[in-house]
C-alpha cells in the first residue's frame, strides 16, 4: 500500500466532515478529534473541504484554518477540494492549501459542460489555473456534478495532464468503467492513475474486485472500509462480502442524497468522533423518525460488527 498521494495510492481516503457547534461556528476541537479518528481507522489519506465537507458554507479564512489544522495534525496525505465556479477562486484556494502542506487538490467540473471537448478543455484550464506541479484528483460524479465522462474522456484528461494522479470514481453505474480503464492500463493504452471510489461506498465490494485501489468516501465506519479493502487485497473474498453486507443496510441509508450527511454526522457523533452533529445552515437535519431508523440500523449492525455497539442515546 502506497504511503503517498500519487498514481500508486491505495487504501481509503476519508472524505472528512466539517464539525460545527450547534450555533454554526466551526468546532476546532472536533476537527482535531475526527482527524485522529480517521487516522486510527487506518485510512491512508484524508480529503477535506469536499461537497460533503460543507465547503461552500465556509469562507476562505475558515477553509484555510481548517486545512492548516488537519494538515498539522496528521502525517497522512491531505487532499483539499478546490472546486469552484471560477478559476480565480480555485487558484487562490489551491495555492493557500499547497503552501500549508496539502498533498494535492480535488477538482470537480461545473454542470454547464456538455461535450467531450468542453470537458477536456475545462480540466486543462483548471490545471493551468492551479499550476502544472500540483497533484490532483479528478472527480467523476455525474449524479451530483451533472457531467458525464466516458472512459475515453478520462483518458484524454489523464494523458493531457501529468499532474492528475487519481480518479475519484463515482459514476453510477460504474463497474464497467473501472474495468475499461484498467484494461487500457494493462494494454499500455493509458498511464496508471489511482482509482478510489466514492458514491458512499455503495458498490465498493465489486469496485475493488474490478481493479479500484480503494475508497474515497465518508461512510461513518471508515474502519470497516479499510478492513474491507484489506480483505479484498488479501483475496479473502467471502469475508470481504460478509463484512460489506453487514454494513450495507446502514451504508445505503447514509448514501441518500441530501439527508445522507445528517445521518453520517449523527453516526460519527454517536461514535464519539465529533461533539455535535449540526450542519451549518442551510442543511438538513434528521427527523425523529429518521433518527430512530438509524438507531435501529445501528442496533442490527451491532449484532454482526462490534464497532457498532454504542452507548444508548440519552432520551
Contacts with a second copy by CB under 8 A lie at 55-60, 62, 84-89, 91-92, 111, 114-118, 121-122, 125, 128, 148-150, 152-153, 172-173, 175-176, 179, 202-203, 205-206, 209-210, 241, 244-245, 248-249, 252-253, 256-260, 281-282, 287, 289-290, 293, 296, 300
Least distance to a second copy, CB of residue 213, Å:
18
* Burial (CB count <10 Å: 0-12, 13-18, 19+), residue 168: buried
Name 107's bridge partners. 138
CA quadruple 200, 204, 210, 215: dihedral, nearest 10: 70
Least distance to a second copy, CB of residue 73, Å:
23
Nearer of residues 165 and 261 to a second copy, judged by Cβ: 261
Sign of CA pseudo-dihedral 241, 243, 244, 248: positive
Contact (Cβ atoms closer than 8 angstroms) between residue 48 and residue 67: yes
| DSSP 8-state secondary structure symbol assigned to residue 220 | S
Nearer of residues 202 and 215 to a second copy, judged by Cβ: 202
Nearer of residues 2 and 291 to a second copy, judged by Cβ: 291
**Euclidean distance between the first and the last CA atom of the chain, given in angstroms as a whole number:** 44
Least distance to a second copy, CB of residue 90, Å:
10
Least distance to a second copy, CB of residue 149, Å:
7
| DSSP 8-state secondary structure symbol assigned to residue 314 | P
Nearer of residues 249 and 272 to a second copy, judged by Cβ: 249
Least distance to a second copy, CB of residue 203, Å:
8
Give the span between the Cα atoms of 210 and 204, in whole angstroms. Answer: 10
Give the span between the Cα atoms of 142 and 225, in whole angstroms. Answer: 23
Nearer of residues 76 and 254 to a second copy, judged by Cβ: 254
CA 61, chain centre distance (Å): 22
Least distance to a second copy, CB of residue 6, Å:
27
DSSP 3-state percent helix, strand, coil across the chain (nearest 5): 50, 10, 40
Nearer of residues 45 and 174 to a second copy, judged by Cβ: 174
Least distance to a second copy, CB of residue 8, Å:
24
- φ, ψ of residue 34 in degrees (nearest 5): -75, -30
Nearer of residues 196 and 250 to a second copy, judged by Cβ: 250
Cis link prior to 271 (omega < 30° from 0)?
A: no
| DSSP 8-state secondary structure symbol assigned to residue 256 | S
Least distance to a second copy, CB of residue 206, Å:
6
Nearer of residues 1 and 89 to a second copy, judged by Cβ: 89
**Residue found by looking up cell 478492513 in the block:** 227
Contact (Cβ atoms closer than 8 angstroms) between residue 12 and residue 223: no
Amino acid at each position: 500500500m502506497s504511503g503517498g498521494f500519487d498514481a500508486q495510492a491505495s487504501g481509503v481516503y476519508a472524505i472528512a466532515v466539517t464539525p460545527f457547534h450547534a450555533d454554526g461556528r466551526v468546532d476546532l476541537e472536533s476537527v482535531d478529534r475526527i482527524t485522529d479518528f480517521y487516522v486510527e481507522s487506518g485510512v491512508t489519506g484524508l480529503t477535506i473541504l469536499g461537497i460533503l465537507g460543507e465547503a461552500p458554507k465556509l469562507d476562505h479564512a475558515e477553509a484555510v484554518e481548517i486545512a492548516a489544522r488537519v494538515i498539522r495534525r496528521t502525517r497522512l496525505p491531505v487532499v483539499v477540494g478546490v472546486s469552484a465556479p471560477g478559476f480565480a477562486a480555485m487558484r487562490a484556494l489551491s495555492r493557500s492549501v499547497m503552501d500549508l502542506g496539502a498533498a494535492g487538490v480535488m477538482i470537480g467540473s461545473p454542470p454547464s459542460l456538455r461535450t467531450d471537448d468542453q470537458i477536456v478543455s475545462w480540466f486543462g484550464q483548471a490545471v493551468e489555473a492551479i499550476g502544472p506541479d500540483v497533484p490532483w484528483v479528478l472527480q467523476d460524479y455525474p449524479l451530483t456534478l451533472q457531467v458525464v465522462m466516458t472512459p475515453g474522456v478520462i483518458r484524454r484528461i489523464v494523458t493531457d495532464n501529468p499532474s492528475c494522479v487519481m480518479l475519484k470514481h463515482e459514476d453510477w453505474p460504474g463497474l464497467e468503467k473501472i474495468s475499461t480503464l484498467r484494461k487500457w492500463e494493462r494494454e499500455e493504452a493509458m498511464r496508471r492513475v489511482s482509482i478510489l471510489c466514492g458514491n458512499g461506498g455503495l458498490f465498493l465490494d465489486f469496485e475493488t474486485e474490478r481493479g479500484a485501489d480503494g475508497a474515497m468516501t465518508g461512510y461513518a465506519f471508515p474502519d470497516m472500509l479499510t478492513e474491507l479493502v484489506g480483505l479484498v487485497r488479501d483475496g479473502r473474498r467471502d469475508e470481504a462480502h460478509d463484512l460489506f453486507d453487514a454494513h450495507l443496510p446502514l451504508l445505503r441509508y447514509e448514501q441518500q442524497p441530501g439527508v445522507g450527511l445528517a445521518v453520517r454526522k449523527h453516526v460519527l457523533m454517536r461514535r464519539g468522533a465529533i461533539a455535535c452533529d449540526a450542519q451549518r445552515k442551510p442543511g438538513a437535519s434528521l427527523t425523529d423518525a429518521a433518527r430512530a431508523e438509524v438507531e435501529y440500523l445501528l442496533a442490527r449492525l451491532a449484532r454482526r460488527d462490534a464497532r457498532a455497539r454504542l452507548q444508548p442515546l440519552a432520551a
